[in-house]
Amino acid sequence: MDARINIIDERLKNIKRIIAVSGGKGGIGKSSVASVLALNLSKTGHKVGLMDLDFCGPSDHTILNIGNVFPEEKNGVIPPEIHGIKFMSIIYYASDKPLPVRGIDISNALIELLAITIWDKLDFLIIDMPPGIGDTTMDVIRLIKKIEFLIVTTQSKVTLEIVKKMLKLLKELKIPILGILENMKTTNLSLVKNQLKMFDVAFLGSIHFDEDFEEAIGNTSELIETGFSRDLIKVIKQNELFAQYM
């Protein structure tokens, strides 16, 4: 038995809600959703943490322009706070270099990161997950007892097929699913809603493709005013599990 697993429970005990933002493939806007959601929750006065667990391509620090701030070591690791968000990422240990780990090495890195990070009291911890169903996703489900999943998808048929597998797995494991969020919507078709209705999971709504979003990356004042951000908050407010916080 790995003693660090008991430490993880202790580290997370004062966090009210832990939400994993996940999806079937890379490039669907999962990190944008996680980052902008954390930013909006922070702006409404909540204590928020953001953890980037995308070992393949961490990017939350770029989206939110989290530069030369680093964790403090004191009986563990205390995440730096910027834009009102406590932030932890694998980027602090890999820098901008590729992280050539797999299998048991990924699991060990994840357990270590969860065990050493001191969050204290939070209303929300938003976890930016890697794409698909891999070692990190399975370990997060195993290690974080009160995890909830927010599933991001696009209209892509390829993405939808992978999302179906993810939903089936989460359902079988009885993991709470907040709902499905359609990103980068470009047509009026209800493809996502129709394709996934068989899973009896809430379809939260759509974020339309925002051609100005890329220009706002790195500027939180502009990010919060984008069409992407407005659509996201509109969708989240419609979810009764979020409405009381927004």
Q: What is the pLDDT of residues 155-194, one digit of tens each?
A: 999 999 999 999 999 999 999 999 999 999 998 877 898 8
In this predicted structure, the answer to whether residue 24 has a pLDDT above a threshold of 90 is no
The pLDDT confidence band at residue 122, using thresholds 50, 70 and 90, is very high
The pTM (predicted TM-score) of the whole model is 0.93
Q: What is the pLDDT of residue 29?
A: 94
Q: What is the pLDDT of residue 52?
A: 95
Which H or E element spans position 182?
Answer: strand 177-185
CA distance 99 to 88: 16
Which H or E element spans position 168?
Answer: helix 157-172
Q: Which residues contact 240 (CB under 8 A, 6 or more apart)?
A: none
* 188-217 residue pLDDT tens: 877 898 889 889 999 999 999 999 999 999
Q: Which residues contact 230 (CB under 8 A, 6 or more apart)?
A: none
Q: What is the pLDDT of residue 105?
A: 76
Q: Which of residues 100 and 218 earns the better pLDDT score?
A: 218
- Chain-wide mean pLDDT for the chain? 89
The pLDDT confidence band at residue 244, using thresholds 50, 70 and 90, is low
- The Cα-based distances of 143 to 14, 63, 93, 123, 166 in angstroms read 16, 27, 21, 19, 18
CA distance 111 to 105: 10
The pLDDT confidence band at residue 67, using thresholds 50, 70 and 90, is confident
Which H or E element spans position 234?
Answer: helix 227-237
Q: What is the pLDDT of residue 149?
A: 96
Q: What is the pLDDT of residue 133?
A: 82
Q: Would you list the DSSP string of 66-124?
A: --S---EESSSEEPPEETTEEEEETHHHHTTS-----THHHHHHHHHHHHHB---SEEE
Of the ranges 25-29, 105-109, 118-122, which one carries the lowest mean pLDDT score? Answer: 105-109
